[in-house]
């Protein structure tokens, strides 16, 4: 596991342009703020309230993160992938991580889903996915549906300073 840093902690972030920033936790976390663990129902309610998240996959030993639009379907996540995209190269039971978050002036939330993928290929699977009316950020001419079946769902609520 990991422990939550105390308010005197600093996080050092190095960007791809080699610029390094130091973030003081005291500027971002309320002194009495400890993340509240979401219940399973709260995590799924939050997942259902959003439409954009990030999926992390490992392809050829390289870890990549992609923004995706998605829909919740019976405690699974369904998203669109285009042929030729690395996301479509996911094989059945490929392990992935998916994350959504939200923050405003007073609070922040995050849900992480670990699971396995399945390309939807049967007529019934595709018809059910089409009925979800998945949002799309860009116009997609040819698409395939992919389902993430969770093995673990965790969520946290934070109070911001």
Query: Which pTM value belongs to this model?
Result: 0.74
- Which pLDDT tens digit goes with each residue over 24-61? 444 444 445 578 999 999 999 999 999 999 999 887 77
- Which pLDDT tens digit goes with each residue over 71-117? 999 999 999 887 766 666 676 568 999 999 999 889 999 999 999 99
d(CA 81, CA 137): 12
pLDDT of residue 33: 58
């Amino acid at each position: 596991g990991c422990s939550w840093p105390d308010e005197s902690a600093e996080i050092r972030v190095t960007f791809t342009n080699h610029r390094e920033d130091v973030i003081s936790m005291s500027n971002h976390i309320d002194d009495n703020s400890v993340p509240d663990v979401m219940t399973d129902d709260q995590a799924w309610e939050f997942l259902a309230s959003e439409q954009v998240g990030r999926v992390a996959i490992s392809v050829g030993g390289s870890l990549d993160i992609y923004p995706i639009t998605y829909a919740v379907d019976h405690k699974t996540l369904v998203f669109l992938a285009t042929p030729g995209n690395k996301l479509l190269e996911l094989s059945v039971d490929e392990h992935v991580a998916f994350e959504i978050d939200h923050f405003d002036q007073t609070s922040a939330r995050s849900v992480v889903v670990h699971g396995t993928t399945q390309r939807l290929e049967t007529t019934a699977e595709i018809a059910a996915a089409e009925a979800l009316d998945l949002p799309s950020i860009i116009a997609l001419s040819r698409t395939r549906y992919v389902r993430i079946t969770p093995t673990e769902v965790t969520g946290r609520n934070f109070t911001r300073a």
